[in-house]
Amino acid sequence: MKNPKNSTIIISALIIITALSRLLPHLPNFTPIGGIALFGAAYFTKKYWAFIIPFVALWASDLILNNVIYAQYFDGFVFFSSSFYWTVAAFAAIILIVSNTKLLNKIKPINLLGASLTASIIFFLVSNFGVWMSMYPKTFAGLMTCYTAGIPFFWNTLAGDLFYVTTLFGIFEVYKYYSNKSEWSYNNL
């Protein structure tokens, strides 16, 4: 059995809970974005759900972040922050690229490590391109300066991706294991 009964609900719930973890204090760029993208791409059997559920969860967490936690930095209600478009572009690129490779055909630690590294690199390239477009001179030197300035944040992105990939995939694999055991019950906890 590839995915147990009710897996779409469990996958969606894990994504929503993980997206809400963005509201907790954390290091810059230590976020679940790459992990959510990889998790959705790996487990949703209908690939459009890999875009819809995580996108809505990220957007909802962004609404709370921008209008509650960071409200003093904005004038009025913010539906989409300027960086959100670049985050979504990176998110979509991660899903498309990883879905069209063999990185997640088999859920194994080496594949998850490769997928996490790929997701971190994609996010770094796309999100820093967005920063370059809004804050740096529109020259090759400006682009390279932007990417260089972003390198310290890359390590937090990679650490976040590794943490959230391990957590999400680990929880779901344990769930699959126990839901596939016919003799398993709550008494076994």
Please report the pLDDT score of residue 148 as a whole number: 97
% of residues, the chain, pLDDT over 70: 93
pLDDT at 112: 93
Domain coordinates in residue numbering, the chain: 7-188
Give CA 176 to chain center in angstroms. 21
Q: What is the mean pLDDT of residues 97-104?
A: 81
Mean pLDDT over 157-162 rounds to 96
pTM confidence score:
0.85
pLDDT of residue 188: 43
The whole-angstrom separation of Cα 129 and Cα 147 is 8
pLDDT, tens only, 12-25: 999 999 999 988 88
- Name the residue type at position 77: F
The band of 4, judged by pLDDT with boundaries at 50, 70 and 90, is low
Calpha distance 68→139 (Å, rounded): 36
The SS3 of residue 76 is: coil
Phi-psi group of 137: left, alpha or beta (phi > 0 → left; psi -120 to 50 → alpha; rest → beta): beta
Q: How confident is the model at residue 5 (pLDDT cuts 50, 70, 90)?
A: low
pLDDT interval class at 160 (50, 70, 90) = very high
pLDDT at 100: 80
Segment 116-125 shows an average pLDDT of: 95
pLDDT bracket for residue 184 (50, 70, 90)? very low
Higher pLDDT, 45 or 137: 137
Token pair of 116 as six digits: 């996490």
Q: Which pLDDT tens digit goes with each residue over 10-65?
A: 999 999 999 999 888 888 889 898 999 999 999 988 889 989 999 999 899 888 88
Phi then psi for residue 12, to 5 deg, are -60, -45
The structure tokens listed for 28 are 């810059």
Got the DSSP string for 78-132? -SS-HHHHHHHHHHHHHHHHHHTSSTTSS--HHHHHHHHHHHHHHHHHHHHHHHH
Please give the DSSP secondary-structure letter assigned to residue 3. Answer: S
Percentage of the chain beyond pLDDT 90 is: 53
Q: Identify whether the C-beta of residue 42 lies closer than 8 Å to the C-beta of residue 112.
A: no
Those residues whose C-beta lies under 8 Å from the C-beta of residue 90, and which sit 6 or more positions away, are 33, 122, 123, 125, 126, 127
Dist CA 176 CA 151 (whole Å): 37
Indicate left, alpha or beta for 107 from its phi (over 0: left) and psi (-120 to 50: alpha): beta
